[in-house]
Amino acid sequence: MRCARLAWKGPALNTAIEKTAPQWVAGFMSGTSLDAVDAAMILTDGTDVLDFGPVAERKYTPEERAVLQAATDAARAWNWQGPRPEGLFRAACETITKTHSDAWAMMTGQAGAPKPVLAGVHGQTVLHRRTKPGQPGATLQLIDAPAMQAALGVPLAYDFRSADVAAGGQGAPLAPAYHAALMNRLGGEPAVVLNLGGVANITARTADGTLIAFDTGPANGPIDEWVEGHGKGTHDAGGKLAAAGRVHEGLLAQLLAHDWFDEPPPKSLDRYDFNASMARGLSLEDGAATLTEFSAAAVAAGIRQLPEVPARVIACGGGRHNLAFMAALARQLPCAVLTAEQAGWRGDSIEAEAFALLAARTLRGLPLSWPGTTGVPGPQMGGKLLG
């Protein structure tokens, strides 16, 4: 089975699902940090979020993480040239199905948990090529959709990025529709949602309600890779290594001179466009400090590309647990920096919740992306439905 080609045509979507009334929908996300599957449930009509349901986190075992990393490494070596590494992709798809099914059971098995009528699964991104003038973009998320739909037992929405890329968009970020729904619950002031995953991306809502979204640069990815490469775990827990090191100012200035920062938004990155090799030659602590400062400076550079200064930046994703990262953001950004929890959100579940909302939007035929979020020419529907 060529699990990533997404050409399987299943039965018609279950017409018993009400397409306009609010429904409980589950969402799942496995990020490029390869640490866990996050699952979350929201009550939504695809536009607004009316309530929040149970969440679950299914950590990857070292063996499962190794399978997904092997598929990622193979995808990078392949890079859409020559024979696909089908064996490694198939093994990754089996791991993805198993771990998502476990997360589903953990979430729906909680006392009083509602039964979702639809699930949105992103799959595992192993390769992403951003769209440039004269160079079409491409993106690859591994998922065996029929196996996943059978494991979950409800209709499945998946393959959320391909239509946007095919239409000339970046295919990322895709969370702005959900970020907008969250910001609507806070009031109308200009704000930015900052997602600190392997890559950092922002969704800005301006004073007139316009959404602007793009990747700002690296976030946790190079830091995690640096720490793991030194045999010190999978990430800089709490930012302790960075806090013990010194920033190499000359290298930082060199990194910030990258052409990426001159590109206008919207724009997107692959997880490995910026990687741990940037800190080669530094000590463990100094490398962690320099990579952390660079990621924060990249976010600040992205904020400067916005048409107006936001009232606040709300950080979500794993990077908000890195105290050195958050301190660097507070120093460099021109506004207040809050964590998702300080805004009343569930910071570890936002990406999973976002794909629940995107699943509902897919069901209703609503756009997932816009010119200001991915650079697509017009509002773009996306996603596929199965089950």
Q: Mapping DSSP to helix (H, G, I), strand (E, B) and coil, where does residue 218 land?
A: strand
Residue 208 marked as a ligand binder: no
Residue 337 marked as a ligand binder: no
Q: Are 371 and 378 in contact (CB under 8 A)?
A: yes
Residue 37 marked as a ligand binder: yes
Tell me the residue ranges of DSSP E strands in 208-249.
211-218
Residue 49 marked as a ligand binder: no
Residue 36 marked as a ligand binder: yes
The helix (H) or strand (E) run that includes residue 140 is: strand 138-142
Angle CA 146–148–152, to nearest 5: 120
Q: What is the DSSP letter of 32?
A: T
Residue 165 marked as a ligand binder: no
Dihedral angle of Cα 38, 39, 43, 47, to the nearest 10 degrees: 50
Dihedral angle of Cα 306, 310, 312, 314, to the nearest 10 degrees: -30
Q: Which two tokens stand for residue 356?
A: 């629940």
CA distance linking residue 258 with residue 262, whole number of Å: 8
User: Quick one: residue 344, left, alpha or beta (phi over 0 = left, psi -120 to 50 = alpha)?
Assistant: left
Residue 38 marked as a ligand binder: yes
Angle CA 319–273–69, to nearest 5: 70
Residue 94 vs residues 175, 353, 364: alpha-carbon distances, Å: 26, 23, 29
Residue 231 marked as a ligand binder: no
Binding site, residues?
Answer: 31-38
Binding site for ATP, residues?
Answer: 31-38
